[in-house]
Structure 1
Amino acid sequence: MKEYRIDDLARAAGINVRNVRVYQDRGLLPPPRKEGRTGWYNESHLSRLRLITRMLERGYTFATISELLLASQHGISVDEILESDDLRGPLGFFRSKAKVTLAELRKVFGDHAPPTLLERGKELGVLSGNGEAFAVRSPRLLEIAQTLVDAGVPIETIVETGQRVRDDLQDVAQLFVGTITETFLPDMAGAGHGELDEQRIAELAEAARKLRPLANKVVDLLFSEVMEVEISRTISRAATALNDDGEEGEDPFAH
């Protein structure tokens, strides 16, 4: 893999060295490989810098970029959020925004939505902030909500369903994390809690880091399976209901 000194990396990314150091200080860019007093960066650093530049150009804050890059380390593709350079379409609106106004939200979701839904949106982690402008924390979820509203699903139903899914996933997360704590910290709630050392805590942190993307894949695979089963059941029930209605409506003298 090709490696770069910091000045070569900055030149390849089209930015200055100071910005590279700023991004690194803010935790957006992983540290380089050290060889003596020289830091060596690789192609993954260059790709990360180009992604950061694109996100900054689109108005994202350092805090939002940090959250998205952290998410990418756990199985969520940041490129999905930035997959299109043409964000003028109806579903590119939220990806092109770091913040949205109350008026813009009402334009997308309708004036009829009660104010409590805005608070529910913040509880779900989709939006944050107060007043007339809100930070967009999950553009994809807002786009999904927009698609469902356009299809005729009430916004109240969407928010309620989102909350139920979030609650269920909280239980799933506790199950996965519980597996880690039972393995590495079996006495966490007992007398052995005081015997923890830095090594065991470091092992726990590393295990949790590795577990997150695996948990994402497990949930995705299992959900796909049960979703397919549920869709098949629903279609079967609908077909049965149609057949029953047809039989009831038949003319007994038709044969």
Structure 2
Amino acid sequence: MNPIGQQSGGAGRRGERGTADDHPGTEEPTLTVDELAARAGVTVRTVRFYSTRGLLPPPAIGPRRVGHYGPEHLSRLALIEQLQRHGMTLSAIERYLSQLPPDLSEDDLALHRALVASWGPDAPEETTREQLDRRAGRELTEEDIDRLAALDALERTDDPDRFRIDPKVLHLGLRLLDVPIEMETIRTAHAVVLEHTRSAARELSRLFRDEVWGPERDHESGSGPERMQAKKSLSAHMQPLVVEALVIAFQRSMKHELRAWYGQDAD
């Protein structure tokens, strides 16, 4: 995630995070530029470079003119990283981000990142325990590693200090570490999500194969490699649209369930 040839890492101090008590009136912890860089896995210079290009909103200025960054900055950095993974140049990323509303929340940015992630195949990476700690902003415990593994955000290797990670899921997994949910509940929720998304994928694939493509399109596309390429092209075009439709439908369904649970004040 580095457009200027630097090594990722940053100079953040592990485990030294701001809290709401440090900054009255805020509900979320605030991060210095060093801490933000460490959590995002980039250098401070990269953060400042993105800021000068307008890719990051300005920080809140605290005492002694120190800038403080919030979760929305971290989510925006994660979105920039995902866009770069798909080969977008900085100019293209600038155009993409300029079309987004300026007041997008952390959750809204996470949804955009999920949609962008659907553009391409999975690309597992390897990382060290130290790099994971930097991303988390603190030293991870074995229980934390177990939670991330349960979410399929990482996989252990033969080396206890190295892990295979899914970049698409890691950012979400790290956000869930401090949510007070039991491990068994996480596993159950994960199983529910997998079961229903796989079922939806199977049904949509069947519909796509039988109704959208069908024998007529098979005939029009010729045979052999040409037919396969035509199918891949149509699939690649439809995939992000289908993912976006699923996300919107799930948001609406979840809002309906929350209203039933909490009452009309759920909004």
Q: TM-score range by the shorter chain?
A: 0.3 to 0.5
Which has the bigger relative contact order, CA under 8 A and spacing at least 6? Answer: 2
Higher gyration radius (CA): 1
Q: What is the TM-score when the length of structure 1 is the normalising length?
A: 0.46
Could you tell me the TM-score, scaled by structure 2's length? 0.44
